[in-house]
């Protein structure tokens, strides 16, 4: 049973660890870091939105992403990975994909998770409505699947949603940049958990080639927001994309990994605040 489980996990990761090449821009995801002794509130969110408009950001509409934290239901989790094993084996047989074997020979030292993940994150992104992304931070794995995978998980009762968060707000156009500013709330509550900001640079999809222009824009933005004397600042923590097997060419998987990093930081910040109280 243990050997079969390891085999299922290995094949599952090999089949789903695909780079998405259809993104022609790149994103930087920032979150609001409140000063010590302060918390996020709707007034700060309103001030941030007004700041975007003050630098000639044109409001274009609403956006929304959903992030879910999953915990396994052991028997169902085994059935879930068993289903994926047979489904994707058949799919790749039909497509005559040979890169799986190349992967094994070209990456002999790359290890995959030997056990069922104890927990992982799932996220749906507005720019990819037909896709769903899984992030297993402990093993540095990001996976892309069809959005219907959520229905399969529910039917197999493999993993149970423990916490689900909405990231939602307004989208603005600012030259070659798109800004998305929004709140972080639980799916069944209006309790504000954080403030999020996406900066999308449209002309380039190379992380290295766009790094300087992206950093310059973020510096300009930080200067603009600092003039409002708000109790905090926006923070960006760039994950090590290489550890997730992601290339310099930006994809939606990069965005999913950034959201996972932001969620971890939000949880850490709230834990510190709770300890102080």
Task: Give the pLDDT confidence score for residue 53 in this predicted structure.
Answer: 94
Does some domain include residue 5? no
Question: Confidence class of residue 29 from pLDDT cuts 50, 70 and 90?
Answer: very high
Q: Which long-range contacts (CB under 8 A, 24 or more apart) does 262-271 make?
A: 262/29, 262/31, 262/194, 262/196, 262/237, 263/67, 263/69, 263/121, 263/165, 264/137, 265/31, 265/33, 265/235, 265/237, 266/31, 266/184, 266/193, 266/194, 269/33, 269/34, 269/194, 270/193
Does some domain include residue 96? no
Q: Which domain CATH number covers 159?
A: 2.40.320
Continuous segment of H or E residues that includes residue 45 = helix 42-54
Does some domain include residue 104? no
Q: pTM to 2 decimals? A: 0.77
Does some domain include residue 8? no
Task: Give the pLDDT confidence score for residue 139 in this predicted structure.
Answer: 87
Q: Around 63, how many Cα atoms within 13 Å sit in the side-chain half-sphere?
A: 23
Does some domain include residue 204? yes
CA distance 54 to 48: 10
Domain count, the chain: 1
- Structure confidence by residue, pLDDT tens digits, 8-21: 444 444 444 444 44
Does some domain include residue 109? no
**Domain, as residue range, for 47:** 20-70+118-276
What share of the chain has pLDDT > 90, as a percent?
55
Does some domain include residue 260? yes
Does some domain include residue 168? yes
3-state helix, strand, coil in the chain (%, to 5): 45, 30, 25
- Structure confidence by residue, pLDDT tens digits, 116-138: 566 789 999 999 999 999 998 88
Dmax over Cα atoms in the chain, in whole Å?
61
Q: Report the chain's mean pLDDT, rounded to a whole number.
A: 80
Task: Give the pLDDT confidence score for residue 190 in this predicted structure.
Answer: 86
């Amino acid at each position: 049973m243990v050997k079969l489980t390891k085999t299922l996990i290995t094949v599952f990761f090999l089949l789903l660890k695909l780079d998405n090449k259809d993104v022609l821009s790149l994103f930087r995801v920032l979150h609001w870091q409140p000063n010590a002794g302060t918390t996020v509130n709707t007034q700060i969110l309103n001030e941030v939105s007004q700041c975007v408009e003050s630098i000639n950001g044109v409001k274009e509409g609403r956006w929304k992403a959903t992030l879910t934290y999953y915990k396994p239901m052991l028997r169902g989790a085994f059935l879930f990975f068993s289903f994926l094993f047979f489904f994707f084996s058949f799919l790749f047989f039909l497509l005559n994909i040979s890169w799986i074997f190349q992967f094994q020979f070209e990456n002999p030292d790359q290890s995959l998770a030997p056990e069922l993940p104890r927990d992982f994150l799932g996220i749906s992104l507005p720019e990819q409505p037909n896709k769903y992304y899984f992030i297993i931070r402990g093993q540095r794995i990001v996976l892309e699947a069809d959005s219907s995978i959520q229905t399969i998980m529910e039917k197999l009762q493999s993993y149970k949603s423990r916490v689900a968060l909405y990231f939602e707000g307004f989208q603005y156009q600012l030259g070659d940049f798109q800004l998305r500013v929004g709140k972080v709330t639980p799916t069944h509550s209006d309790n504000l958990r954080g403030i999020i900001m996406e900066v999308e640079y449209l002309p380039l999809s190379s992380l290295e080639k766009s790094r300087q222009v992206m950093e310059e824009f973020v510096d300009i933005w930080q200067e603009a927001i600092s003039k409002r004397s708000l109790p905090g600042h926006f923070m960006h923590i760039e994950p090590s994309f290489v550890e997730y097997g992601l290339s310099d060419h930006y994809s939606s998987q990069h965005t999913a990994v950034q959201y996972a990093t932001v969620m971890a930081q939000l949880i850490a910040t709230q834990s510190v605040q709770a300890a102080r109280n």
